[in-house]
Chain A
Amino acid sequence: MTSRSRALVVAVACALLAACASGGARTTSPTPEGLAALEAQRAQHPTDPDLNLRLARAYYAANRFADARSALATVLLQQPDNRVAQTYLGFTYEGLEQFDSARAVYGSLLAVRPTGEVSRLLNGRLALLARKELHATARAALANESELARTPPDPSTVAVFPFRYTGQDSALRPLERGLAALVVSDLSHVRSLRLVERERLQALLDEMRLNVTGRVDPTTGARSGHLVGAGQVVQGQFQELPSAGVRLDATMVRATDASVAATGSGREQLSLLFDLEKSVVFQLLAKMGVPLTPAESLAISERPTRDLQAFLLYSRGLEAQDQGDFAAAGASFRAAAQRDPSFQAAAQQAQSSEAAQSAGGATESDVAAAVGGAAQGGTPGGTTDALTIAVNSTVPSGAGILSSTLTTTELNLPVRNDPVCEAAGCGGPTQPPPLAIGTIIIIIKRP
């Protein structure tokens, strides 16, 4: 790591200490006078890239995203490889709630193989972006609820509510989300069903601000199904029983009329929670009349972990993640993965939450500086340019002329896929055109 990027990482780490829990920490907003002064300067130098970048950052901090985007356009037209401007463009798209575009910008920044720290920040930003997008989608669905209610949801799409815990041991409450995640994972193995992501439904429930009872009410289930386009909704509850037992009940509700399509229930020792959950899932599928192939049955029977404690830690991680506490989520997921190294979902979530935590704690300036600093530190375009030149030099093609760099093709270097004069004769105009048979071999061009 260069000293410069090390300093940037330290700066980001410092920012993490003041981490904002729910999303990216924001750059300090400029004063109206400061903004006006920058605008006046830009009026004098309308295409100055440095000035436009400063103005874009100021607009962004003032939540004037459309103006920021316009200023960034000016910068990028002149400095297409300006990583700081590209990073701010991603932020600006987030502000404009153009999430696909923001994701595309971050994806393109990641595609140039930035350093580990920058990659982590960008991946974290993507994780935060996904969360923002889910909530924005949920808000939009609620705003258009009357219209969505008229659209029949896809009967093969299933949403799974968090299970309601009706017992007294608060330590088990995180299993509400863990069990839902498990059911989603199981049902996703059935090819005839399409599953709504757990996080998507959770975002909707957060926006609906449902109380606990609402999460097992069939009417609420049907309403939510319409909002996420699911024709069927799984709702359920669980509670501990005497002698370390646990009871689990689940209902499959049709979103069209809130009728109950299937039910499943069972009781087992807590240590056999996974067996109980599988049993309930198989009951639901059987009562719904969903035929299962042997492969699907086998896949559903797979346990992501056999360690109940690891699963509880994982469930705590999901709870913290849903609350936007990525530090706590990361710690729980990491602990789950450490207890059971084969628990892949926990390891993946740990990585994602830790990245989100990094990005959430860093200001936009930190992220942009880290991305820009890495580019200046010797990886402009990452290794992409080096790779492109290497490919085009050894296996040439006309695509080489699309390159943006000082490539051999741009240098008009004769390494094209056309014949290179091989034998003496085709060296140029100082040799007369050979007409005699004896000179034929000197003008045959080698492919």
Chain B
Amino acid sequence: MRTRTTLGALLILAGPLSAQGATALYTRWNALSGFEFQRYGLSQGLGIQSASQWSVPVVIVAPLGRQMSLDLTTHFAHSQITDSAGASQAVSGLTDTQLRLLYTVGRDRAVASLSLNLPTGKRSFPLTQFGVSSAIGSNFLSFPVGSLGTSFGITGGLAYAVPAGRWNVGLAGSVRYQGNYEPIQDSALTLSYNPGLEGRLRVGADRVIGQRARIVLGFTYSSFSTDLFSGGGFSGQYFNPGSRFIGEAGYGYSWGRTTLSVSAWDLYRLAGDNSGAKNPDTKENVLSAELRLGRQLSPRLVIEPLAGFRQWNPGGHLGGRLYTFGMNSRFGLTDRLSGVVSARFGPGWAGPVDVSAAGVSVFLRYQR
């Protein structure tokens, strides 16, 4: 986010820094919050006429000494779907809280991380609200908050980066454990869900091309062990999630006060199986691309028109496509306070129906 680098420069200009010589990934205090709203309207045909969400993120990053940092992330979110008859179902509340400790080993080459998922969000819902969960968890719609709550979880990871010629190469891996919980709030049904472990491996690389351009590439592989269910007539049933692959690429080119950015990612998930039966519905591919043209209007104001494209190809259903047009405005209010205002809209389709997307967001960030 360009606001960070602008602010970083301002901070350098502002005077002495307390974190001199620090090797932690995050060497300054940061606090970020704001408001984000996203809505999708659907024409007749799927039984839903809209899915929307507004959320307020809270992110705090605190350096701890020279080699460590601690960050905390949580949201307050309200998600809602309205069916074609006009009836609404909504889910709202605090989400889970992620507390992450990063420890830089050596001089900015390796980072060990430990992340805790604190179950501060609501995690059990009546069956009638699962439609909301389904909509907001969609990789295609990609709502900012994908769920409210789960259970206590812990993730450990290691990341390493090394220069390789003109490239910087990053390698990372993590393992996540999540405790079991009861996702259904129903007096007649007790279902316990015990998610399996998740392991992620990632390789990424970036480099400068010439004096004006930069490219970033990445590939992430995720593998999951078996999820187990018990209670409510589901005892002994399990789900084997398919592996997930994510490729991403970004390219930026600057000239004068203008920066052109092109970025894309593709998520591909293999089909999983339910208690031994292959479930083709679980297979999907989502391709997303975006083009942005940033222009600095004044030292503290950048506007950035953008155009995006997203294509969804699920295994067992018709897919969808979205076109997005919008504008970001990045601004600095003071040397320490900056913000981003974004507005997006666009048409598309999902299966047999037309989709219209709209979203606005305002983020403020304080750094010291």
Residues on A facing B (Cβ under 8 Å) = 2, 47-49, 69, 72-74, 76-81, 86, 89, 98, 100-101, 103-105, 107-108, 110-113, 375-380, 382-391, 393-399, 401-408, 410-435, 437, 440-447
Contact = CB atoms under 8 A, between A and B. Distances in A.
A406 B252 contact: yes
B206 A424 contact: no
A446 to B, nearest CB: 6
B274 A394 contact: no
Main secondary structure of the interface of B (DSSP, over half): strand
B100 to A, nearest CB: 4
A376 B280 CA distance: 47
B220 A398 contact: no
A399 B26 contact: yes
A172 to B, nearest CB: 38
B1 interface: yes
Contacts of A385: 168, 206, 216
B309 interface: no
Given A404-B8, A406-B216, A98 B15 contact: yes
A181 to B, nearest CB: 24
Instruction: Identify the 10 closest CB pairs spanning chains A and B, nearest first.
Output: A433-B131, A424-B281, A378-B166, A398-B73, A406-B250, A418-B146, A386-B170, A430-B351, A390-B170, A80-B5
B336 interface: no
Nearest to B279: A424
Contacts of A406: 214, 216, 250-252, 261, 263
A108 B173 contact: no
Interface string B290-318: 10000010111000000000001011111
B208 A391 contact: no
A236 to B, nearest CB: 35
A420 B202 contact: no
Contacts of A421: 134, 137-139
Contacts of A403: 1, 4
B218 A408 contact: yes
B339 interface: no
Contact of B13 (A89, A382, A402): A89
Interface string B195-224: 100101110111110010010101010001
Interface in B1-37: 1-2, 4-6, 8-10, 12-13, 15-17, 19-23, 25-27, 30, 32
B138 A429 contact: yes
Nearest to B210: A376
B220 A394 contact: yes
Contact of B73 (A107, A399, A445): A399
A410 B12 contact: no
B365 A402 contact: yes
Nearest to B216: A406
Q: Among B102, B139, B147, B191, which residue has the most Cβ atoms of chain A within 10 A?
A: B147
Contacts of B68: none
Contacts of B163: 113, 378-379, 382-383
A435 B251 CA distance: 44
Contact of A417 (B111, B115, B130, B173): B115
Interface string B140-182: 1110011100110101110111110111111111101010000
A107 B134 contact: no
Contacts, number: 402
Contacts of A387: 25, 108-111, 159-161, 170
Given A386-B168, A415-B220, A394 B202 contact: yes
A408 B249 CA distance: 9
B130 A394 contact: no
A281 to B, nearest CB: 32
Given A111-B23, A413-B265, A426 B279 contact: no
A153 to B, nearest CB: 25
Classify chain B: how many residues form its interface, as a range. Answer: 35 or more
Nearest to A425: B134
Contacts of B9: 73, 76-77, 80
B316 to A, nearest CB: 7
Nearest to B28: A402
B241 A423 contact: yes
A397 B174 CA distance: 13
B16 A104 contact: yes
A428 B140 contact: yes
B355 to A, nearest CB: 7
B265 A411 contact: yes
Contacts of B286: 414
Nearest to A74: B299
A430 B314 contact: yes
Contact of B133 (A103, A110, A396, A426): A426
Given A101-B15, A383-B108, A399-B100, A375 B21 contact: no
A403 B25 CA distance: 10
10 contacts: A76-B13, A77-B299, A380-B168, A393-B220, A398-B98, A402-B365, A427-B281, A429-B355, A437-B233, A441-B229
Nearest to B172: A390
B8 A80 contact: yes
B115 A390 contact: no
B161 A111 contact: no
B300 A77 contact: yes
Interface string B303-341: 000000000101111111000000000000000000000
A394 B159 contact: yes
A77 B300 CA distance: 7
Contact of A445 (B127, B137, B290): B137
B263 A410 contact: yes
A424 B281 CA distance: 4
B142 A412 contact: yes
B108 A431 contact: no
B166 A2 contact: yes
Contacts of B166: 2, 377-378
Contacts of B131: 432-435
Interface string B231-251: 011100101010010101011
Contacts of B74: 398
A86 B21 CA distance: 16
B100 A397 contact: yes
B248 A408 contact: yes
B98 A386 contact: no
Contacts of A112: 108
B187 interface: no
Contacts of B312: 427-428
Nearest to B51: A429
B288 A441 contact: no
A419 B193 CA distance: 13
Interface string B69-82: 00111100000010
A102 to B, nearest CB: 9
Given A424-B316, A434-B130, A445-B146, A391 B227 contact: no
A404 B365 CA distance: 13
A77 B6 contact: yes
B126 to A, nearest CB: 11
A388 B137 CA distance: 26
A384 B299 contact: no
Contacts of B15: 98, 100-101
Contact of B317 (A49, A390, A427): A427
B277 to A, nearest CB: 11
Contacts of B211: 376
Contacts of B183: 440, 444
B21 A107 contact: yes
